[in-house]
Amino acid sequence: MTTDIDGFAGRLKRRENGGMIAAWIGAPDPLLVNHLSQEAFDAVVLDMQHGMWDMASAANGIAQVRLTGKPAIARIPVADFASASRLLDAGASAIIAPMINSADDARALVKATKYPPLGERSWGPSLALNHFGIAADEYLQGANGLTVTIAMVETRAALDAIDEILAVDGIDGIFVGPSDLSIALSNGARLAPDSAAIDQTLAHAVARCRAHGKLICAFGTDGERAGQFLKLGLDLVIAGAETAQLRAGARAAITTARKIAAS
């Protein structure tokens, strides 16, 4: 099954069902991607920054997501803009780029993810054409408006430059990283992604994104936090990483078994 990439961009902008929830996977196992893609996630993110994906496994992971008719998103390593265009060629619907701290960083990202005249993305989307089921000319003409380029805001510098980043033509939105942002806001004193300071920053970021007509996404540590983000008005959220969900499920099963056995 293929997914029209326009469907993903359009749903993000319309905030269907009050916003989208994406799976977040760092373990480089396409079969794990297949299993989580079967659940009621709206999209799947492959984390290549802190996860262990390489290009070959990521291409296979993207294919597994596409089999379920859902959009695949890839978070690239810091400043690895060359991989962004390759992942789009492999069929990714969106790119998340970490540590975008200035308008210059944002423009460099756009160069890799958008075709001329916006950027300098090189032609070669053979797998993308297969996944999307469209002709080459159609993909070329529509790709800049249909692929989604997302800059991560997770430092003081990025917060100070948020309007300049959002104003860059070709940046479709931002992704707030609460963990790194909490470290930055506390000058390295603490890790507090669920703090009031982050809530205040997110509210400001939502307002700036709405002013620019751009998307806003963020990483939630669990389902409760993700729900709070959706209520705040975010367009796409994460409800925890796959490792946390796996271990939480295991703990719940073990606790239930022990409780029943002791009763």
Q: Which of 121, 119, 98, 117 is nearest to 179 (CA)?
A: 98
Q: How far is Cα 74 from Cα 45, in angstroms, rounded to an integer? A: 5
Q: Which of 23, 47, 26 is nearest to 35 (CA)?
A: 23
Answer whether 47's CB lies under 8 Å from 73's CB: no
- Of the residues 50, 131, 204, 212, only one is catalytic, namely 50
Beta strand ranges found along the chain (DSSP E): 20-25, 43-47, 72-75, 94-97, 148-153, 173-176, 215-220, 236-239
Q: Which of 127, 131, 122 is nearest to 81 (CA)?
A: 122
Q: How far is Cα 55 from Cα 60, in angstroms, rounded to an integer? A: 9
Q: How far is Cα 89 from Cα 226, in angstroms, rounded to an integer? A: 30
Q: Is 131 tagged catalytic?
A: no
Q: Residue 151 corresponds to which tokens in the numbers above? A: 């800059």
For the chain, how many residues are written?
A: 263
Q: Residue 83 corresponds to which tokens in the numbers above? A: 């991989």
Pairing between strand 94-97 and 72-75?
parallel
Q: Residue 125 corresponds to which tokens in the numbers above? A: 């989307």
Answer whether 92's CB lies under 8 Å from 67's CB: no
Q: How far is Cα 251 from Cα 154, in angstroms, rounded to an integer? A: 31
The residues assigned a catalytic role are: 50
